[in-house]
Chain A
């Protein structure tokens, strides 16, 4: 393990050293700072873990997991250290515009902001940070309420989610190779500057490549996951993608129609938002009352009119998943429509008129004027809908399928509840909760990056 810490320290030293050199600060201080930050950072996860992942009787998965933790923590601390030196040396402050300068009128001591922050910090610490720390601690234990012992089991709760005999299919390697090749080609094209002619196509190729790369990453984790956890991940991916894509498409379509100037549009719009007020389990129960082949209303009318009832949706994977997606889309639709209607009202009329004068038809006006100006709202809705489908599906799944058929609708949050609360494996549930937390962190970082980039482009165009 010490070898790895030294390695991390060398990398950290090199990174911060180079950054210092580039910004004309003392390279040697940078090297020292980077080395210390990386070494301390890599120790942060290893102290509570007692370096157990590097013990001789541990599996390869444990070793790799420990290594990933070590480097993740080292990277985190190095980045924080480098940024804070930039802040402390005043380099950031120089970049600030006049408006951002601290006000002369309310010149206060540096304690005051912290004092003002204190109430929220206290509450956050009590109800968010402390439970989060406890969850992390729980994830390292075999823990059960009322048990006389809670043995420390290193990272077993995490690594048991990985298939010990993982094999990747040949098709996956082909896909990975193709993706890598396309990526390399794109970079090469960019370097050789042959792209300015067909810039639009280049952009499209890059975004397609990104989707392909995302697919490869998702497939990688699906194959890596254990026999029990794999279906949970797959169900989460399918159901989340289904909910987000359908909710946004249908939401936009309905909002577009509802914003047309027709009689009674306002009443109609208000009615559309209603489902949002319904809670997730109620949405589940409503859909069950409609689609259940025994007590369902639709089944009843189908039998009266056509003489055939509905199939049992819980026995077919795609039907069960569709019903979950349907109930959830119906529930979030109101929320999406609300934002789209607001967004559509802000689409600049002059731009639409100008496009019409230039001969753009309705579809072209929608595609080239309306859609781009809705982009920030779409991004916001992708994130909120994704968060909804990660965290709020429990009630819907519990009332509609309880994970049937054979776990095909048991999404991550439902699995966490089932394992932690029903079956009382708090350690395992804590580990899975942390994984879900990690996923949300990744999505949030992505959201911030995209939002920042959009902010930059919007700034440059105005």
Chain B
């Protein structure tokens, strides 16, 4: 009997606890529901229609660039209240890509997402969980329209280097966004001290200048620096007019062969190693160390820095105690300079959206890149003005006269030939191939390896990586 009464008591206690927990829960929901409703009304107060169409845009920025994008989205929402662009910033391109794929699988696709240039082949090849293509070409979606619901289409105005890079069969597939190229920043103060008359343009001129700089009393530790990143190799190949992969650098068909052992690639690596061995090139010891290299330059430990043109804004915002000038990335004097390729990212339209959402996405992509926005984006970030009209506007207002370092990238790209070798490679598993090159470069420099055999070995592995990729994605 005692046991039974205890048992009943226990059951009652449990029931009471459950009941109180449940009631507590409801109260809590009611409490939190109220303010969130308020917030929702506040956010959608501007649109007149009751339910604006949501356009989810996913980008790979979390800093001031995200703030800028959010501001643009807000002004778009104010101007076109039938739409509500929701801008989300994620840490890195891969995060954006995976987020897009997985949220499509879960039935909540983003309308637009940003992805970087080296993954263009993968973006084209990728399929959604149901097997349909991930992307829809913006040219195809526009179907010849020059404006969408009052927003002017800017595709024809995009500067050539970017438009050609992201085009397939002459058709631009996405809306290029943050775009840069490599340029060379120069510590003009030391250059003048060393008596070098002009910014060196060729490899030989760099070496001559370095010899003079090395003779300076209390001179810098090194002479030239750049990050150990495959982009620098790709730029050199573009300058040489040499392809990294077959099938016209992957632009006339699917590439299935890598040429990391080409004369141009091995020649560049040999030049790099020679500079390193002479003490002219100072390696930070870390792969893709953009900020470390910039610190070397800003700390006057090197006179020349080859880096992304977008570095100009950081230098302008916090200027060092020496004069900075900029020139084109130096080229091998043995081969005429054919041009530079772009780097950065583009905005893709997701395939399978309903017509209204798709149009809203197209409107926003073109709005974000209109002349005013493209010019503002350039000033904020140092990425090139992506449209010709933005270049013209900035020139007219005297921006480039005041900031001569900002025009160098645009000029370098404008002086580039329109051919596959200069536009840059499109190839699967590109990231892994890039990684292989940087690891090999580090090995060659630090462990004093012979260049040709090391590059040949890397090439063998790179081809295996490409085979791997084509096994999964190839037709």
Contact = CB atoms under 8 A, between A and B. Distances in A.
Contact of A294 (B284, B432, B471): B284
A148 B285 contact: no
Interface stretch (A87-95, A384-392, A416-424): A416-424
A181 interface: no
Contacts of A421: 94
Given A144-B472, A148-B131, A404 B442 contact: yes
A421 B92 CA distance: 11
Interface stretch (A49-57, A116-124, A193-201, A308-316): A308-316
B446 A294 contact: no
B432 to A, nearest CB: 4
A236 interface: no
A312 B471 contact: no
Nearest to B221: A309
Interface in B278-302: 283-289, 292, 295-296, 299, 301
Contacts of B134: 146
Given A148-B131, A406-B446, A312 B472 contact: no
Contacts of A144: 469, 472
B212 interface: no
A149 interface: yes
Given A401-B285, A424-B431, A145 B101 contact: yes
Contacts of B284: 294, 312, 314
A183 interface: no
Most chain B CB inside 10 Å of its own CB: which residue of A147, A150, A425 = A147
B372 interface: no
Contacts of A422: 94, 431, 435
B447 A405 contact: yes
Chain A CB within 10 A, most for which of B98, B102, B285, B435:
B285
A295 B299 contact: yes
B472 A142 contact: yes
B287 A404 contact: yes
Contacts of B471: 142, 149, 151
Nearest to A399: B286
A60 to B, nearest CB: 20
B446 A315 contact: yes
A294 B305 CA distance: 15
Given A142-B472, A148-B472, A150-B472, A403 B295 contact: no
A421 B91 CA distance: 13
Contact of A314 (B286, B443, B468): B286
A418 B432 CA distance: 10
Given A294-B299, A314-B285, A407 B431 contact: no
Nearest to A312: B285
A406 B432 contact: no
Contact of A423 (B285, B296, B431): B431
A331 interface: no
B126 interface: yes
A291 B439 CA distance: 23
Contact of A404 (B285, B296, B429, B473): B285
Contacts of B214: none
A301 to B, nearest CB: 15
Given A294-B296, A404-B286, A404-B287, A147 B443 contact: no
Dominant SS at the B interface?
A: helix
Given A146-B134, A294-B301, A424-B431, A402 B288 contact: yes
B442 A406 contact: yes
A405 B287 contact: no
Contacts of B72: none
Given A423-B431, A423-B432, A403 B287 contact: yes
Given A142-B468, A145-B98, A405-B446, A295 B295 contact: yes
B439 A147 contact: no
B127 interface: yes
A68 to B, nearest CB: 26
By size class, the interface of chain B is: 35 or more
Contact of B472 (A151, A292, A401, A406): A151
Nearest to B464: A160
A310 to B, nearest CB: 12
B435 A423 contact: yes
A400 to B, nearest CB: 8
Given A145-B98, A147-B126, A149-B472, A406 B439 contact: yes
A211 to B, nearest CB: 31
Contacts of B301: 294
Contact of B286 (A151, A402, A418): A402
A299 to B, nearest CB: 11
A407 B432 CA distance: 15
Nearest to A144: B472
Contacts of A418: 435
B435 A401 contact: no
A436 B285 CA distance: 28
Given A147-B472, A148-B131, A421-B94, A313 B285 contact: yes
Contacts of A404: 285-287, 442, 446
A149 B127 CA distance: 10
Contacts of B287: 402-404
Contacts of B101: 145-146
Contacts of B285: 312-315, 320, 401, 404-405
Residue from the set A149, A404, A421 with the largest chain B CB neighbour count within 10 Å? A404
Contacts of A148: 125, 127, 131, 472-473
Contacts of B432: 423-425
Interface string B445-468: 011000000000000000000001
A315 B289 CA distance: 14
Contacts of A142: 468, 471-472
Contacts of B94: 421-422, 424
A406 B431 contact: no
Contacts of B296: 294
Contact of B126 (A146, A151, A314, A403): A146
Nearest to A410: B439
A298 to B, nearest CB: 15
A294 B289 CA distance: 12
Given A144-B472, A147-B473, A405 B127 contact: no
B343 to A, nearest CB: 17
Contact of B295 (A149, A294, A423, A425): A294
A403 B443 CA distance: 12
29 contacts: A142-B468, A145-B98, A146-B97, A146-B101, A146-B125, A146-B128, A148-B131, A149-B471, A151-B471, A151-B472, A292-B292, A294-B292, A312-B285, A314-B285, A315-B283, A320-B285, A402-B288, A404-B285, A404-B442, A405-B285, A405-B446, A406-B439, A406-B447, A418-B435, A422-B435, A423-B435, A424-B94, A424-B432, A425-B432
| A-B residue pairs, 6 tightest by C-beta | A314-B285, A146-B126, A147-B472, A406-B443, A405-B446, A423-B432
Given A144-B469, A424-B431, 12 more contacts: A144-B472, A146-B101, A146-B126, A147-B125, A148-B127, A149-B473, A295-B292, A312-B285, A402-B289, A404-B287, A423-B432, A425-B468
Interface of A: 142, 144-151, 292, 294-295, 312-315, 320, 401-407, 418, 421-425
